[in-house]
Amino acid sequence: MPDETETSFAPLYSRVMLKISGEALMGDQGFGLHPPTVERIAREVKSVHDLGVEICMVIGGGNIFRGLQGSAQGMERTTADYMGMLATVMNALAMQSALEGIGVFTRVISAITMNEVAEPYIRRRAVRHLEKKRVCIFAAGTGNPYFTTDTAATLRASEMNCQAIFKGTKVDGVYDKDPKKHADAKRYETVTYDEVLAQHLGVMDASAIALARENDLPIIVFSLDEPGGFKGILAGQGTYTRVS
């Protein structure tokens, strides 16, 4: 049964992109999927979905395979990147299973055709899924090597006319240096796209930041480990950094 507070405020955004890393799904493990962690994130998504917000998702594949790491170990870069894309499909299917297990209808939409497990990416069909309040999980990146899932998330968010990208991380915003290593690290309340690029703040890769800037798409960086953080930001609360 929905919480009574869920209808007590109008969410700041009606359609958003949630970008999370593959590493976010592995919990305290060093590799792979941690089902309780996947289920916890699914509940966070459901709490926002219950507000009527239309949600797109892109999940990285670094918990299973990262193309750049394979390339560094001597593997041909294009092949390594395609392997990384397949890892994102595995993560998308895991998230779909967790969401549908708690009553949220989803569609996994892949940039690489694999009809048995996911729909091919067709923009108009994806928009229709969102209008029907299905969570759309975009998998396999952009379908091209040399592009990260950060860029894929920004591209899909632009195509879907999302009002913001929510980047779930291990920390509650953007800092001038690593807050886990430096006690005096300063968190930014707001920061510009140009400052992120000039200071190498590591929010997303340069291609993703440039694309977000061109489309005037704000990026909200928040902690995925903070219970209720995703929903709280939509209510205008919580701790986060806004890149705009």
Cα 174–Cα 175–Cα 178 angle in degrees, nearest 5 = 120
CA–CA distance, 64 with 31 (Å, rounded to integer)? 7
Q: What is the model's pTM? A: 0.93
Cα end-to-end span (Å), the chain: 36
Q: What residues contact 89, with CB distance under 8 A and at least 6 apart? A: 108, 110, 112, 114, 117, 118, 139, 140
Give me the number of domains the chain comprises.
1
Instruction: State the pLDDT at residue 8.
Output: 64
DSSP label at 4?
G
pLDDT at 25 over 50: yes
CA–CA distance, 197 with 174 (Å, rounded to integer)? 13
What is the residue whose two structure tokens read 């041909």?
A: 76
- Which structure tokens are listed for 122? 């067709």
pLDDT at 46 over 60: yes
Instruction: State the pLDDT at residue 9.
Output: 74
pLDDT at 71 over 90: no
The CATH number covering residue 222 comes to: 3.40.1160.10
Comparison of pLDDT for 244 and 4, the residue scoring more: 244
Kindly indicate the confidence band of residue 5, based on its pLDDT and cuts at 50, 70 and 90: very low
In tens, the pLDDT along 50-60 reads: 999 999 999 99
Instruction: State the pLDDT at residue 81.
Output: 93
In tens, the pLDDT along 93-129 reads: 999 999 999 999 999 999 999 999 999 999 999 999 9
In tens, the pLDDT along 135-189 reads: 999 999 999 999 999 999 999 999 999 999 999 988 898 998 888 888 888 999 9
According to DSSP, the residues that pair with 109 across neighbouring strands are 119, 138
Domain that holds residue 37: 4-243
pLDDT at 220 over 80: yes
Instruction: State the pLDDT at residue 179.
Output: 82
Q: Tell me the percentage of the chain whose pLDDT exceeds 90.
A: 73
